[in-house]
Amino acid sequence: MKISIITVVWNGKDTIRHAIDSVLNQTYKDIEYIVIDADSIDGTVEIVKSYGNKITKFVSEKDDGLYDAMNKGIALATGDIIGILNSDDFYPNQHVISDVAQCFEMTANVDMVLGNVDFVPAENLSKIVRFYSSFKFAPWKLRYGFMPAHPAAFIKRTAYKKVGLYKLGYKIAADFEMFVRMLIMYKLTYVKLDQALVRMRIGGVSSSGIKSYWIITREILQALKRNGVYSNLFFVFMRLPVKFIQRFVTRK
């Protein structure tokens, strides 16, 4: 099966090369690699272009934010499976995509494979300081604001055709809203792969302070309400102690 990997970037010259190399170094051969740039001015465009035809498709133009860029990539993708790798994330080893493909092949009727994410500091990319596991995820937990690790979710292109693209009215939680549609409204099927498929540098948009936490909490409630799923502020705030504990737990 062909697997499309989409990297979205804006002024990411310090990390984009690492993300690209982690895709190009995969042992799995049937990869379509799409890079969507938001009209960067810091040298990112030149770095991407230096890879020539190793990048299957490259678009550099202004967009309406992160999720608009993801939607552009999905629209261009021709693979059976789609994975999204942000420009400051990377695959931790060369067989990630092979493992994902094997998982789909062994469970042919599932719509998505959900994996785990390791968080690492920018100054030491081999030091895991926190991890996010999708292994204990269940769709009912969305009501409480929990979601599978979006960067480690590989989703069939047919699922996006059925459910639609990311909603642009969200600053942070469009991926959460997508999972609500996919897993609760459309009841798409999934399998969990209990291994780290992506490493993320600490400091992403959804984990950068109290203000972001409040924005994502509000957007989570909005996403649930718009899709007819009952929740309330107390339910969603219940995830806070769990996330706090996760900051002090590392994977052995």
Where exactly are the structural domains of the chain? 3-246
One-letter amino acid of 176: F
pLDDT at site 93: 97
pLDDT for the residue numbered 231? 79
- More confident of the two residues 248 and 4: 4
- Between 98 and 243, residue with greater pLDDT: 98
Question: Please, where are the H alpha helices in the chain?
Answer: 16-24, 44-49, 66-76, 96-106, 157-163, 174-179, 210-226, 233-237, 239-246
- Asked if 143 and 231 count as a contact pair (C-beta separation under 8 A), the reply is yes
Q: DSSP character for 3?
A: E
The pLDDT confidence band at residue 249, using thresholds 50, 70 and 90, is low
**Is pLDDT at 165 greater than 50 in this prediction?**
yes
pLDDT at residue 212 above 60? yes
Residue ranges of alpha helices (H) inside 7-166 are 16-24, 44-49, 66-76, 96-106, 157-163
Contact (Cβ atoms closer than 8 angstroms) between residue 178 and residue 226: no
- The DSSP 8-state label assigned to residue 168 in this structure reads T
Say how far apart CA 25 and CA 7 lie, in whole Å.
Answer: 15
Q: How far is CA 1 from the centre of its chain?
A: 20
Average pLDDT, whole number, for the chain? 91
Q: How far apart are CA 13 and CA 45, in angstroms?
A: 8
Average pLDDT over residues 239-247: 58
Q: How many CB atoms lie within 10 A of CB 121?
A: 14
Q: What's the mean pLDDT in 86-114?
A: 96
Contact 251, 128 (CB under 8 A): yes
Whole-Å CA distances, 3 to 26, 42, 211, 246: 12, 29, 36, 31
pLDDT band at residue 211 under the 50/70/90 scheme? confident
User: What pLDDT is recorded for position 108?
Assistant: 79
**What's the confidence (pLDDT) of residue 17?**
97
**Is residue 26 a contact partner of residue 94, using CB atoms and an 8 Å limit?**
yes
C-alpha dihedral over 11, 17, 21, 24, to 10 degrees?
50
| Per-residue pLDDT band at 240 (split at 50, 70, 90) | low
Quote the CA–CA distance of 183 and 179 in Å, as a whole number. 6
Question: Residue 143's pLDDT band (boundaries 50, 70, 90)?
Answer: very high
pLDDT higher than 50, residue 252: no
Is the pLDDT score of 131 beyond 60? yes
* Rounded Cα gap, residues 127 and 118, in angstroms: 9
Q: Whole-angstrom Cα distance, residue 82 to residue 160?
A: 9
Residue pair 50/35 in contact (Cβ under 8 Å)? The answer is: no
Min mean pLDDT across 34-38, 59-63, 211-215, 227-231 is at 211-215
- Decide if domain 3-246 falls under CATH 3.90.550.10: yes
pLDDT band for 18, please (50, 70, 90 cuts): very high
Q: Report percent pLDDT > 90 for the chain.
A: 78
Q: How many CB atoms lie within 10 A of CB 138?
A: 10
Tell me the range of 71-75, 123-127, 137-141, 232-236 where mean pLDDT is highest.
71-75
